A = this chain, B = another copy of it.
């Protein structure tokens, strides 16, 4: 996979030292204070806002100490901040606070409460450790629409507009980073696009999916069905893992969804479901899966958080259609929590964007591998040997 490490950094496949009999090393090296200091130099706004979040969560626990020449989290985040500031401050904890009110592609819509509600709702979910059992290794892999993936987390659809959030990233580099990195980590990338964009652009972006042999989902903005249907042959030709339609930025009726489901050979997933009735309508439309999502809080202010609405939907549909979700997934523990609440696979957006800006495909793979290691550890410490065994019994109620 030569093309994904062209930035001269060598990716570390095993981002955490293997757990030995002494337990799961709690890491070292990366230092929140230093990031906070950098934050101060680059823009006090981000720092101050961070300093006042109700809970002081911070950057993910680092996995290694940053030996020279090896990719490490600190370097990725530092570089990401250099390139993304001020659109994104790459806060130690990405909670929608510092960027609230910014609008645009990363911040939450309006006052940013939907983004913050996503964060808070997930943070309130607590795990119950289970430590008396014989699970010493957990299998983090799972299967979605026939694709075996190394962990139940894939790339969230992000469009070419993401190249405008920071400095010096072409659309080609962007999609190669997020798809290539995810594929390198054994999971699926994503290509998000708008079918009304220039035809050459749309075609080039579709080619990304093909180049990675369909190991990515393809997401279309909810443009009119006639436009989507016009592109159907090209889209199906990519053999993307599935077609995602995000109705949270433009509703579609059951009839419209049915039309799309029937027209496409690939599975159709409807993204932007926040209510059981909407989810049931999707099932009526024959969709292959649903994605519980409020578009990362970027379309409508003041919506409920994902972790608040997911359980009601999962209680009726778990096992009937795959349930995807997204919203502030930052660590392997977050993945575990969403699965315990009923999701089958989560999608990761903002954190992969940071990783892509901070380390290209290598950065994305680094992040996904780190998340997988964190998930593996969290599964052992909650006593679940495999993804299918994750359920609500590991949550504090």
Q: Which residues of B contact A382 (CB under 8 A)?
A: 300
Whether B93 and A111, one on each chain, are in contact in the complex, defined by CB atoms closer than 8 angstroms, is: yes
Whether A26 and B105, one on each chain, are in contact in the complex, defined by CB atoms closer than 8 angstroms, is: yes
Q: Which residues of B contact A117 (CB under 8 A)?
A: 126
In the bound complex, CA of A132 to CA of B210 (Å): 30
Q: Which residues of B contact A37 (CB under 8 A)?
A: 45
Q: Which residues of B contact A392 (CB under 8 A)?
A: none
Instruction: Say whether chain A's binding surface is mostly helix, strand, loop, or mixed.
Output: loop
Q: Which residues of B contact A224 (CB under 8 A)?
A: 21
Among A52-60, A200-208, A361-369, the stretch in contact with B: A52-60
Q: Which residues of B contact A331 (CB under 8 A)?
A: 110-111, 301
Whether B22 and A250, one on each chain, are in contact in the complex, defined by CB atoms closer than 8 angstroms, is: yes
Q: Mark A84-126, 1 if CB is under 8 A from B, else 0.
A: 0010000011001111111111000111110011000001011
Whether B52 and A103, one on each chain, are in contact in the complex, defined by CB atoms closer than 8 angstroms, is: no
- Contact among B27, B45, B303, B308 for A36, CB-based, below 8 A: B45
In the bound complex, CA of A195 to CA of B99 (Å): 47
In the bound complex, CA of A130 to CA of B131 (Å): 39
Whether B126 and A57, one on each chain, are in contact in the complex, defined by CB atoms closer than 8 angstroms, is: no
Whether A56 and B98, one on each chain, are in contact in the complex, defined by CB atoms closer than 8 angstroms, is: yes
In the bound complex, CA of A298 to CA of B104 (Å): 35
Known: A57-B113, A60-B110. 20 other contacts (CB 8 A): A21-B222, A22-B250, A26-B109, A28-B103, A31-B102, A32-B100, A49-B56, A55-B116, A57-B111, A58-B102, A58-B112, A61-B101, A61-B110, A127-B302, A128-B274, A132-B278, A134-B253, A251-B380, A300-B378, A302-B337
Give the B-binding residues of A (Cβ under 8 A). 19, 21-24, 26-33, 36-37, 43, 45, 48-49, 51-62, 86, 92-93, 96-105, 109-113, 116-117, 123, 125-136, 194, 196, 221-224, 227, 247-257, 270, 272-275, 277-278, 281-282, 285, 294, 298-305, 308-309, 330-331, 333-334, 337, 374, 377-378, 380-383, 396
